[in-house]
């Protein structure tokens, strides 16, 4: 199989593999070369794959989508971090993704305050003009 993993800014992986293990909202699953075609959402976690030489590789992935069609397995996710092993990938998730998630939370909170301010000001304008 061919594994192609991309994030919004680049293609991180384009490799031949013999097995892919990932996690969807319903649990972990394993793809082998003759597996039925499928499309599924991925949850944040580890995507593990086996290279033809038997070496195992791990990538920490954030929310994403996996599509298997024929011999191609394509993964698109918001963020991904290749790692030397599962422990390093877990560490990457905790360190890198946690910082980005905190930034996203602050950005969402700021946006919510701005939206609230706009709604409040529109209400004041309507009150002044008798609308």
Domains of the chain (ranges; CATH) run: 2-128 (2.60.15.10)
pLDDT value, residue 62? 83
Burial class (CB in 10 A: 0-12, 13-18, 19+), 31: buried
Give tens-digit pLDDT for 86-102: 677 667 666 666 666 66
Distance, CA of 125 to CA of 109 (rounded, Å): 24
Mean pLDDT computed over 111-131: 75
Q: Helix, strand, or coil here: 116?
A: helix
78 against 83, higher pLDDT = 78
Q: Helix, strand, or coil here: 48?
A: strand
C-alpha distances in Å from residue 11, one per residue of 15, 27, 30, 68: 11, 26, 22, 17
Task: Give the predicted TM-score (pTM) of the model.
Answer: 0.68
pLDDT at 131 over 60: no
């Amino acid at each position: 199989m061919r594994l192609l993993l991309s994030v919004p800014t680049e293609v991180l992986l384009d490799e031949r593999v013999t097995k892919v293990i990932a996690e969807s909202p319903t649990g972990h699953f394993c793809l082998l070369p003759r597996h039925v075609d499928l499309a599924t959402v991925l949850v944040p976690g580890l995507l593990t794959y086996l290279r033809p030489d038997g070496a195992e590789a791990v990538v920490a992935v954030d929310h994403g989508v996996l599509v298997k069609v024929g011999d191609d397995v394509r993964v698109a996710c918001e963020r991904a971090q290749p790692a030397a092993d599962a422990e390093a990938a877990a560490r990457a998730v905790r360190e890198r993704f946690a910082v980005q998630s905190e930034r996203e939370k602050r950005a969402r909170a700021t946006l919510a305050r701005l939206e609230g301010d706009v709604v409040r000001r529109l209400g004041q304008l309507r009150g002044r003009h008798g609308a």
